[in-house]
């Protein structure tokens, strides 16, 4: 069950990020901001929203697993509120590492997949940001 869930989350994350970046790419040239280079800031903020959506989806899955399936997370504080799992998801997505919450048994696969997803999506954002910088920071009017 967990491998299928992991595949579904990978597909959902890729779709969400693709749609966010695609729409930003379409909208940004028509936005009139001054200075023009502020378009890069809008691109970064839009990408940040995409990352947060993906992190929230993983957190929802962790929360559902914790509440309804008995869960496979360990915490020194035994606090499995949604906010705590959102923190854990952010920690996993950014590959920051495990601290006071860590996965056990079958959930380790899903958490590892989230780290890979985060690595790929953050890299994709870096590439997108570079392209937007070329667009908005050029000397052309």
pLDDT of 99:
76
Peptide bond preceding 35: is omega within 30 degrees of 0, i.e. cis?
yes
Interatomic CA distance for residues 11 and 5, integer angstroms: 10
Q: CA separation (Å) from 99 to 36, 73, 80, 87, 140?
A: 41, 12, 14, 11, 48
Query: Domain residue spans in the chain?
Result: 2-26+41-136
The secondary structure of residue 103, as a DSSP letter, is E
pLDDT surpasses 70 at 12: yes
pLDDT surpasses 90 at 77: no
> Among residues 89, 43, 50, which one has the least CA distance to residue 66?
89
- How big is the chain, counted in residues? 141
CA dihedral 34, 36, 41, 44 (to 10 degrees): 140
Average pLDDT of the chain, as a whole number:
88
pLDDT surpasses 60 at 139: no
Q: Which stretches within the chain are classed as H helix?
A: 2-27, 38-68, 82-93, 107-136
Does the domain at 2-26+41-136 match CATH 1.20.140.10? Answer given as no
Q: Count CA atoms within 13 Å of residue 72 on its CB side.
A: 11
- What is the pLDDT confidence band of residue 141, given thresholds at 50, 70 and 90? low
- pTM for the full model? 0.88
Question: 5-19, 57-71, 97-111 — which one is most confidently predicted on average?
Answer: 5-19
Segment among 74-83, 101-110, 125-134 with least mean pLDDT:
74-83
φ, ψ of residue 75 in degrees (nearest 5): -145, 140
pLDDT of 19:
96
């Amino acid at each position: 069950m967990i491998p299928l869930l992991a595949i579904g989350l990978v597909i959902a994350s890729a779709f969400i990020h693709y749609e966010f970046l695609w729409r930003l790419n379409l909208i940004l040239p028509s936005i009139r901001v001054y200075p023009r280079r502020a378009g890069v800031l809008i691109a970064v903020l839009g990408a940040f929203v995409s990352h947060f959506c993906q992190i929230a989806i993983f957190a929802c899955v962790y929360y559902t697993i914790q509440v309804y399936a008995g869960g496979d997370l360990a915490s020194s504080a035994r606090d499995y509120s949604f906010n705590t799992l959102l923190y854990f998801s952010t920690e996993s997505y950014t590959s920051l590492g495990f601290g006071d919450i860590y996965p056990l048994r079958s959930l380790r696969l899903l958490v590892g997949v989230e780290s890979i997803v985060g690595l790929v999506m953050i890299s994709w954002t870096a590439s997108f940001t570079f392209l937007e910088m070329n667009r908005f920071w050029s000397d052309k009017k």
